[in-house]
A and B are shown apart, each in its own frame.
Chain A
Amino acid sequence: MISVQKNNFSINEELSKLKIKYNNIGAISNFIGIVRDKSKQSNLVSMTLEHYPGMAEKMLTEIENQALSRWNLIGSTIIHRYGELFPGDQIVLVITASEHRKDAVESCHFIIDWLKTKGPFWKYEKTNRAGFWVEAKETDKKEELKWKT
């Protein structure tokens, strides 16, 4: 399941949905991205996530399908928020469920790595000094490429 939404999400609710839907889950892995309160040594006021409607849903679906084809998964959830968020707010949720731990852990890592560079989102950070668009990190690209094979 994928969702691109403005609203917050509840990890407990999302975990319950998966557990109710499937009764053969033996392992669940999850990742939550959270807005930090610092940016380039300044205090962060807010982070606005811009997205490309339509393409964001398309890319999240493609990333989820990649994970489902590479690992033996029972189910998965990817939720990515957009709009203005504040320190402590949740940005992104990834849940992967499988029979055994390896598939859940690895695929969760894979999904968040690919979201970083293939999810059509752009972050605008407002600090107490200025506002700027966050540049893509070279390290994120490297993390993406390590899943090439």
Chain B
Amino acid sequence: MKILYFSWIKDKLGKSEENIILQEQIKTVEQLVIFLQNKNDIYKDIFKDNKIIKVSINMEVSNFKDSISDQDEIAFFPPMTGG
């Protein structure tokens, strides 16, 4: 699975993307976040307040409860500031 990070999330992590092999038991974005948080304190800190982080699945704005699969492209970002 490809995961992309934007804005301050990218800066905090020090990377704009990563590839992971999605474990079978991870079925939703919420579960993916828990998996990432268990990796280290940087992820834990980033996702401490999920309300300020948005997610997209295959470039579609989605919810943390939504289902994911290994082929999906996930992106995490703060609220958009276009225009």
| Residues of A participating in the B interface, judged by any CB pair closer than 8 Å | 33, 50, 52, 54-55, 58, 80, 91-92, 112, 115-124, 133-136, 140-141
Contacts and interface: CB of A to CB of B under 8 A. Distances in A.
8 contacts: A52-B6, A55-B75, A117-B79, A117-B80, A119-B82, A121-B82, A121-B83, A140-B81
A52 B75 contact: yes
A121 B80 contact: yes
Contacts of A115: 82-83
B46 interface: no
A123 B59 contact: no
Given A55-B56, A55-B75, A50 B83 contact: no
Interface residues of B, number: 16
B9 to A, nearest CB: 9
Given A115-B83, A136-B81, 13 more contacts: A52-B4, A52-B56, A55-B56, A80-B82, A112-B83, A116-B80, A117-B79, A117-B82, A119-B82, A120-B56, A121-B82, A135-B81, A140-B81
Given A50-B6, A133-B8, A58 B59 contact: yes
B59 A119 contact: no
Interface string B2-14: 0010111001000
Given A50-B6, A52-B59, A54-B59, A123 B77 contact: no
Contacts of B81: 116, 121-123, 134-136, 140
A116 B80 CA distance: 7
Interface string B32-56: 0000000000000000000000001
Contacts of A50: 6-7
Given A91-B83, A122-B6, A122-B7, A55 B59 contact: yes
B77 A120 contact: yes
A36 to B, nearest CB: 13
Contacts of A80: 82-83
